[in-house]
Amino acid sequence: MAKRIFELPKEHELTKDQRMAIRKPVDGQYLVVGAPGTGKSVVALWRLRKYASDNDIVFLSFNHVLNHANKELAGSNEAYMSTAISWLYEFQWKASGGSAANYHEAKMPEEDNHKPDYPALIERFEALNANCSTTSFIIDEGQDLPQGWYEAVESLNVENFFIVADQNQQITEENSSQDELADVLGLDKNEIIHLKENWRNTTPISAFANYFYTDKSSPKPELPNKPSAHVPILYEYEKLESVKELILSSYDNDPSKLIGLFVANETKREHWARDLKNDKKQRREAPPVVSTYYYQQKGNVNIDFSQGGIVVLNDKSVKGIEFDEVFIIIDGFKAVGGDIESLKKRMYVMASRARERLFLVKSEVQNSVIEDILPPEGETFQIERNNTIEEYELLKRIKI
């Protein structure tokens, strides 16, 4: 295990659009949209750094892994940071005077397990005269929260929202489109702040992710000017052990790298987290720290983004975070109800987590629904650089 750079960029390193978003007044309602890698979380965290010391600010993330990563980046900041749903449950409990004695009366009204009944919740807030008007909210990955969540928070007389979002990264069953978010905030389209520069991905990785872009209301994100010889690769394996060796060898080559391994379901997540730790082969470097996260852990995330290692996650947990290298095992993914667009969005999110190298892995004997949406063999993309047109393959295929 080795130290890796995991910190916010300096203010002078930010783009003009990022600095403009950060410097908006603390009071008001703002929506910042951008593709993966454009620094939405960076902008949100810099905004927290700018205003938290003098204001009542709540910083909310979509999921627990992203919340954990944001806390690491925020460092010693004392602001309240949580997931959006956890904050709502906690606030509701306190507003209701919740205790063991009145548990059933004070608990969150729900449609289903951990799914609030928002109309009933709003009625409760109004009956309690619950108020949160002095608090300013910063929300990361705001597109994956339902409109009901925003309406419930607005019923608390909240007026100050700063939301960062990407419509093409909606991978939850309930979400809010860009237009819906603008409507909730009372914004015109020309009042939305757009981030356009991708500083995370290499050009080949960004081009590959763009292949799965589905948002018909806006053009594909611009490709970054970050050339690389490392084109995304699809490895087709005969023996599963060769995949394990591929991942562990990649770490052994550079233990300062944080590698993300994304899988289709909890069974595969458990298998890979266990199997990668059980490495008997003698290697040059010490064994990697293999971390993982599953839903039952709630806020107990044990991933250290400031160290090299391997992190095993399912696709629902990768929103908003990034890795030096990413392996996606495409076996086992499903298009629920034949929803190919949703599957493409999931691939878009997973692929765009990779900073430097991206690998897909599949069995040579299993059919994968994701294989059906991959670029055809030989598919290329073009980019103009230095007044010349350069052409690159979107996805190489190698048998191992």
pLDDT confidence bin for 174, thresholds 50/70/90: low
Checking if the pLDDT of 238 tops 70, the result is yes
Q: For 380-395, how does the pLDDT look when each residue is reduced to its tens digit (9 = 90+)?
A: 998 887 888 888 899 9
Q: Average pLDDT, stretch 25-49?
A: 94
Taking CA atoms, 98 is separated from 92, 95, 105, 118, 128, in Å, by 8, 8, 8, 18, 13
Burial of 162 (0-12, 13-18, 19+ CB in 10 A): buried
Paired tokens of 204: 């080949």
Residue 1: predicted pLDDT: 59
Checking if the pLDDT of 170 tops 80, the result is no
Residue 53: predicted pLDDT: 87
Q: Average pLDDT, stretch 304-318?
A: 94
> Tokens 């050339």 label which residue?
227
Q: Average pLDDT, stretch 227-245?
A: 95
Q: Average pLDDT, stretch 300-313?
A: 95
Mean pLDDT taken over the chain: 92
> CA-based Rg of the chain, rounded to a whole angstrom?
22
Give the C-alpha separation, 23 to 20, whole Å: 5
Give the C-alpha separation, 154 to 151, whole Å: 5
Residue 222: predicted pLDDT: 85
Q: For 316-360, how does the pLDDT look when each residue is reduced to its tens digit (9 = 90+)?
A: 899 899 999 999 999 999 988 788 998 999 999 999 999 999 999
Helix (H, G, I), strand (E, B) or coil at 296: helix
Cβ partners under 8 Å of residue 236, min gap 6? 361, 362, 363, 364, 397, 398, 399, 400
Give the C-alpha separation, 137 to 142, whole Å: 11
Q: For 82-108, how does the pLDDT look when each residue is reduced to its tens digit (9 = 90+)?
A: 999 999 999 999 999 999 999 999 999
Matching CATH number, 203-399, of 3.40.50.300, 3.40.50.2300, 3.30.1540.20, 3.90.1150.10:
3.40.50.300
Residue 325: predicted pLDDT: 98
Checking if the pLDDT of 210 tops 90, the result is yes
Give me the amino acid identity at 69.
Answer: A
Q: Average pLDDT, stretch 140-150?
A: 92
> Tokens 């928002």 label which residue?
118
Pairing relationship of beta strands 323-329 and 160-165 according to DSSP bridges: unpaired
Checking if the pLDDT of 218 tops 80, the result is no
Percent of the chain scoring above 70 in pLDDT:
98
Closest CA to 29 of 139, 174, 194: 139
pLDDT confidence bin for 114, thresholds 50/70/90: confident
Q: Are 152 and 128 in contact (CB under 8 A)?
A: no
Backbone angles phi, psi at 62, to 5 degrees: -70, -45
Checking if the pLDDT of 167 tops 90, the result is no
Domain 11-195 architecture: 3-Layer(aba) Sandwich (3.40)
Delimiting residues of CATH 3.40.50.300 domain(s) in the chain? 11-195, 203-399
Residue 172: predicted pLDDT: 58
Q: Are 299 and 231 in contact (CB under 8 A)?
A: no
Q: Which helix (H) or strand (E) holds 311?
A: strand 309-314
DSSP 3: B
Residue 169: predicted pLDDT: 65
pLDDT confidence bin for 130, thresholds 50/70/90: very high
Q: Average pLDDT, stretch 172-182?
A: 75
Checking if the pLDDT of 171 tops 60, the result is no
